[in-house]
Chain A
């Protein structure tokens, strides 16, 4: 038999060794913003909003060294449209800008797609260089252990030959983020959760712990009042510590917890799932200051 690319020995072997030290003066630092579930074509405007991106990138030595990812994260994390697209855009960014030290900022399910790349370095020949270049992942409200809301969307969506899926086909990213599914992916395909090998790069979560949507409270309007009203309702489907979409335990399930919202936000305000991707309560400044570390 024949291996298509030749014998085993021809492959690229890459090893990483961690040693103490700081960012080198010659480093070219870049930051990539990776959105959550959804198919994005203008994530800067539609998913993040420019405020937080422009605040964060001011922390770069060259504020032009940033990229906002636009991929189809309605797919399973390993699919060409998801991790494949992300790998392509990160590779183009790294090569085009000569980035040697990349900070990746993800939101929600974007953390899972990045964790797929970090956990599966031999799945795609672009992954090793990306992993080598990443200095850390800042995962804003990552859905590392899924969400009961994904289960709520899919419960009862059985397949009947005459009808198809009763509630219509729900995208694979939602299937993936069901709690039981993420437990299995975490045990088999992903690293960084309890008892599993560590990821090859730091993965630090920012945890949103509550939702405020009082009509008289101006803080409830940051990121969009209507979104926060909905998130306060969906909190009913979750346990007592949640950002309205994800339980805190899910956000903390992989990597390490950098901080839980109230520990660092202005006024000790909580970050709802909508606010953790917006310029709310000083989040952008916290992320900006972290770029230099």
Chain B
């Protein structure tokens, strides 16, 4: 069976004619919501973007429940370090906890580019431990944009566990050395408490070194995870490359970083990272998590007007900086069994030239309700995005009932 698309195009002015209910406050924010307490001025990025106001809605299948994804938990069996030529000429110690590791070496800008055969890896007994090696050209052929001079070595399945040595007498300059231990039972688990934060706000990141039996046991559901005592440090990294050290403090369940985001978030688009570097008794691991940082260039006023007949929601805004802003949200309708389920998704965006008051209107009326679904409605997962600066400003899991 194929799907036939029926497209309904309507001028929003027609929707505007429908009466709206009196203004009502948005539902109280939850602790996991992000609400801008004020608005701030900000410069416009060079790429101004779209100026036309646009709205768009589409149907959702009410039998498919929606759940807000939890912040990603990074699980790492790898580590990296920057080493200089003197250390490499002597031989750099690389602790390995499992056979068949992969070692990647990349020259820092200005360092001597070495051929794969100029690298030596020796196991704890001093024997050569290179099962296979590939160069940058072979890596690039895969689509992996490896830098010039990058090489990747596999130590082999029969190799011993312990301290290996990576050496090149030809090294000159600095090199980034990465070690991946896909067969190791020891991993670093890193997770932030949120995926978005406002400038000046705080993110809490937990880090735990654990023995989980390894990837295979995890995949098979045979894993019993045991936390390992560890210590480490962390680094907050902005998209423009600025970085700030962040202490990792031991707690009841591993390590924790209290990360305060600077007020000056810069103008380079992209996500921020918290990188954690943890070690314990011959084991090194690092991992990173990413989150979005937004300057509060606009905010919902906290009020809304909704019309259940027209299935439209008017959202007053306070604008702090010129730009293009978008409201998006999910309409839940009451099903035949009295339960609220998602039936439509709507977005609405417009350009605003100057600070002041404004509004966006989420129109759901062009989407037919599934049979048996009707008011009362609820607007959930309401978000305000700064499209000019690619930043999620506000996020409310439950916003309005009408």
A binding-site residues for B, Cβ under 8 Å? 1-6, 8-24, 36-37, 76, 78-80, 108, 120-125, 127-128, 131-132, 135, 149, 151-153, 155-159, 163-168, 170-172, 174-176, 178-181, 183-189, 191, 193-198, 200, 202, 224, 226-227, 229-231, 233-234, 236-237, 239-240, 244-245, 273-274, 293
Which partner residue on chain A sits nearest B342 by CB separation?
Answer: A197
- Give the residues in chain A near B291, CB-CB below 8 Å: 184
**B 125-163 binary contact with A (CB < 8 Å = 1; else 0):** 000000010100011111111110000101000000000
- Give the residues in chain A near B57, CB-CB below 8 Å: 13-16
Q: A156-B176, A196-B69 are in contact. Are A11 and B367 (CB under 8 A)?
A: no
The answer, among B8, B52, B58, B242, for a CB contact under 8 Å with A125, is B52
Q: A1-B353, A17-B8 are in contact. Are A159 and B360 (CB under 8 A)?
A: no
Task: State which size class the interface on B falls in.
Answer: 35 or more
Chain A binder among B9-17, B24-32, B86-94? B9-17
Interface centre among A149, A166, A193, A245 (most CB of B within 10 A): A166
Residue pair B330, A197 in contact (C-beta under 8 Å): yes
Residue pair A181, B58 in contact (C-beta under 8 Å): no
- Give the residues in chain B near A153, CB-CB below 8 Å: 144-147
| Further pairs besides A124-B50, A131-B56: 10, Cβ < 8 Å | A9-B15, A12-B9, A14-B366, A21-B4, A132-B7, A155-B286, A156-B80, A198-B64, A227-B141, A239-B215
* 7 closest A-B pairs by CB: A15-B366, A159-B241, A21-B4, A11-B53, A156-B176, A183-B72, A1-B356
Which partner residue on chain B sits nearest A8 by CB separation?
Answer: B361
B binding-site residues for A, Cβ under 8 Å? 1-13, 15-16, 47, 49-61, 64-69, 71-72, 74, 78, 80-82, 100, 102, 104, 106, 108-110, 132, 134, 138-147, 152, 154, 174, 176, 178, 180, 182, 195-196, 215-216, 219, 237, 240-243, 269-271, 273, 286, 288-292, 319, 326, 330, 342, 345, 347-361, 363, 365-368, 381, 383, 387, 390, 392
Residue pair B392, A18 in contact (C-beta under 8 Å): no
Residue pair B387, A123 in contact (C-beta under 8 Å): yes
Residue pair A237, B56 in contact (C-beta under 8 Å): no
Which partner residue on chain A sits nearest B367 by CB separation?
Answer: A15
Residue pair B292, A167 in contact (C-beta under 8 Å): no
- Give the residues in chain B near A149, CB-CB below 8 Å: 142, 144
- Give the residues in chain B near A159, CB-CB below 8 Å: 240-243
Q: A8-B12, A10-B13, A163-B109 are in contact. Are A152 and B104 (CB under 8 A)?
A: yes
Complex: A5 Cα to B65 Cα, angstroms: 37
Complex: A8 Cα to B317 Cα, angstroms: 12
CB distance from A62 to the nearest CB of B (A): 19
Complex: A6 Cα to B6 Cα, angstroms: 28
Q: A12-B11, A14-B55 are in contact. Are A226 and B141 (CB under 8 A)?
A: yes
Residue pair B12, A18 in contact (C-beta under 8 Å): no
Residue pair B47, A244 in contact (C-beta under 8 Å): no
The answer, among B53, B363, B367, for a CB contact under 8 Å with A6, is B53
The contact sample of 26 A-B pairs, CB cut-off 8 A, is A5-B51, A5-B351, A6-B53, A8-B53, A8-B348, A8-B359, A9-B12, A9-B361, A16-B5, A16-B7, A16-B8, A17-B6, A18-B4, A155-B78, A156-B81, A156-B82, A158-B82, A164-B109, A180-B289, A183-B69, A195-B68, A196-B66, A230-B134, A233-B139, A236-B154, A274-B143
- Give the residues in chain A near B361, CB-CB below 8 Å: 8-9
CB distance from A110 to the nearest CB of B (A): 12
The answer, among B54, B69, B319, for a CB contact under 8 Å with A122, is B54
Residue pair B4, A20 in contact (C-beta under 8 Å): yes
CB distance from A11 to the nearest CB of B (A): 3
Residue pair B143, A23 in contact (C-beta under 8 Å): no
Interface centre among A158, A164, A184, A194 (most CB of B within 10 A): A184
Residue pair A37, B352 in contact (C-beta under 8 Å): no
Residue pair A184, B215 in contact (C-beta under 8 Å): no
- Give the residues in chain A near B54, CB-CB below 8 Å: 11-12, 121-122, 125, 128
- Give the residues in chain A near B237, CB-CB below 8 Å: 158
Complex: A125 Cα to B53 Cα, angstroms: 8
- Give the residues in chain B near A181, CB-CB below 8 Å: 271, 290
Residue pair B10, A188 in contact (C-beta under 8 Å): no
Complex: A168 Cα to B113 Cα, angstroms: 14
Q: A19-B4, A195-B66 are in contact. Are A8 and B350 (CB under 8 A)?
A: yes
The answer, among B61, B195, B241, B347, for a CB contact under 8 Å with A120, is B347
Complex: A179 Cα to B289 Cα, angstroms: 9
Residue pair A174, B145 in contact (C-beta under 8 Å): yes
The answer, among A3, A14, A172, A273, for a CB contact under 8 Å with B9, is A14
- Give the residues in chain B near A22, CB-CB below 8 Å: 1-2, 4
Residue pair A15, B330 in contact (C-beta under 8 Å): no
Complex: A195 Cα to B65 Cα, angstroms: 7
Complex: A172 Cα to B64 Cα, angstroms: 33
Residue pair A245, B142 in contact (C-beta under 8 Å): yes
Complex: A280 Cα to B285 Cα, angstroms: 39
The answer, among A168, A188, A245, for a CB contact under 8 Å with B195, is A188
CB distance from B247 to the nearest CB of A (A): 18
Complex: A131 Cα to B67 Cα, angstroms: 25
Which partner residue on chain A sits nearest B182 by CB separation?
Answer: A236
Q: A16-B5, A179-B74 are in contact. Are A168 and B102 (CB under 8 A)?
A: no
